[in-house]
Structure 1
Amino acid sequence: MGREIQQCLASITDEQRKVYDVVMDAVTNDSGVMFFLYGHGGTGKTFLWKTLSAAVRSNGEIVINVASSGIASLLLPDGRTAHSRFGLPINVHESSTCSISQQSPQAELLIRDDKPFGGKVVVLGDDFRQILPVVLKASRQDIVHATINSSALWNFCRVMKLTKNMRLQSYNDGEASIEIPDDMLIGDSEDPFRDLLEFVYPDLLSNMYDRDYFQRRAILAPTNECVESLNDHLMSLLPGEEKVYMSSDSMCRDEHTTEDNAEIYSTEFLNTIRCSGVLSHVLRIKVGAPVMLIRNIDQARGLCN
């Protein structure tokens, strides 16, 4: 934890450092302050939470990292969803209660006195501009009333802001800030497809086991066909035997599906469908090929988004 906090503090911005100092002062003095960190995407909210988490843990304190969704919880050390950590029901209404028994270890961890959040230092964070709460058939007034700053707890909250985009700063300062040579312009090369791959992934075979090599590079493609062509070509460059896996496509058997539809939409036809959100019928991979998962399969084994 000591090494991690030093690495984080070496990359922290002046704006984030001010927030860090204020929160850590509240933790050190056990003042039980409630903070709300407001900033749009890319300003480093998650990075700051990781930094605070490492700093508090290095002092032997307990940190509870809670996110609104399963995918967001994976970005935090030992992250858990709010429903899991606080025992919240999936469908929340006015008479909902948390399923935490009074004598349980979870209650001992969370509840200390009658102050908001048991008197613990709490750091909330979000971007008000991203999404409003969903209230069915509600008026503007009802939606505004459901927002977090209409909560009774908001009066106890100290709001802090982040405005500088960390991603743009790292782009300007890092090696990603490179100029594309004139011969890489579209239409100026005899084989732009090959040249593009060699430009983005130089010395691929020598760097294929370097995680940072792939994290710093990406090709944005307009269609799934382009993505498949790029993947197939790069896969052909990797050594080893190719393994081919095929999907198992079939029509859903329900009251809306007739036997005629099942015959019209045959398995062979379903295998040819190429559209957004539908996986390709054929998956070709090799041992050592980098794979990005888009869903959580087995989080304990690291097979997660």
Structure 2
Amino acid sequence: MENNLPFGGKVMIMGGDFRQVLPVVKGGSIGQQIASSVSKSAFWGGVKTVRLQTNMRSQEDHEFSQFLLRIGDGIQQSLNGDFIHLPQSMVIPGEDEQSIYQLIDSIFPNMVDHADDANYMVGRAIITPRNIDVDNINQMLIELFPGEERVYTSWDSVDEDNNNNLYIAELINSLSISGLPPHQLTLKRGSPIMLLRNVAPELGLCNGTRLICQNLATNFIDAKIMTGPYQGDHFSTTPDFIHVDATHIKELEEQIEGWEKRIAWIEEWDLTKRGIAERRNMDNANSFWKNIRSLDDTDMETYYKYHYQRCCTDVKEYKCDCKAATRYLANCYCEHF
């Protein structure tokens, strides 16, 4: 456009909070972190700052919102300049397992009595910054939750074409990588899960969507959307395959294949796969039949309940013989390809 003005002269609206953590500079000092802030950019002198006055998230808890503002402004009373004394009402003393159960009971009181209350489950969460804590607390919660559990195990393998790769699959199984579920994922009917990626925004399946597990079969999971305008719609997932280049873990390259879901009691969950038989990008009809696998009786009963009509419709779109497809679908399902 031959325009040397910032952003080509266009008006840009940016939002942020300088009270939050500084940008992360790997191996950098405090000075380097400050220097990487947007306020140190060359265009910042031309920015007009507008301060928001109302905390929309904490309107019903004025005392807590003011407490956060005092911390952000640096005027909250501190200990030795680096530590802030938290109100006793916000603290559960102790660092043992019993204190974790006290935390669970305070966030999910009488959880067993509310096991069938989806609104109760999706309306609360325990937040923790570390994946290892996510997995540990989730495991404690799923053990307390009533019902029969089903365990889904990922299939992890190492890139055999890389001669320098000395990592074994057992090591990969033990890793807790951000954005991926644990090697063994335990779910129960009625347990909450959350989408962490935009799977299909047009269907309400986007980052932050909360769902409740409705049926847990051997080869797929059926869940019901519990938030947003698509509340009540069903979403099913099948095993899928992804490749993760985990360079942030000592340049480790790995291929992690399997289920991408987490329990949603803690804000770190993953549920990223599209519904069964909704793949539209096939090259030809033969691809459809190459990716069919038998289900057991339990799977088939659940599958028929929610997906039989949808699958037949999709088969027509693939220009396959719908009668033949109906016969196949009595024992099979479409897998990711």
Q: TM-score range by the shorter chain?
A: 0.3 to 0.5
Q: Report 1 or 2 for greater relative contact order, CA contacts < 8 Å, sequence distance ≥ 6.
A: 1
Give TM-score, length-normalised by structure 1: 0.41
Structure with the largest fraction of helix: 1
Structure with the largest fraction of strand: 2
Give TM-score, length-normalised by structure 2: 0.38
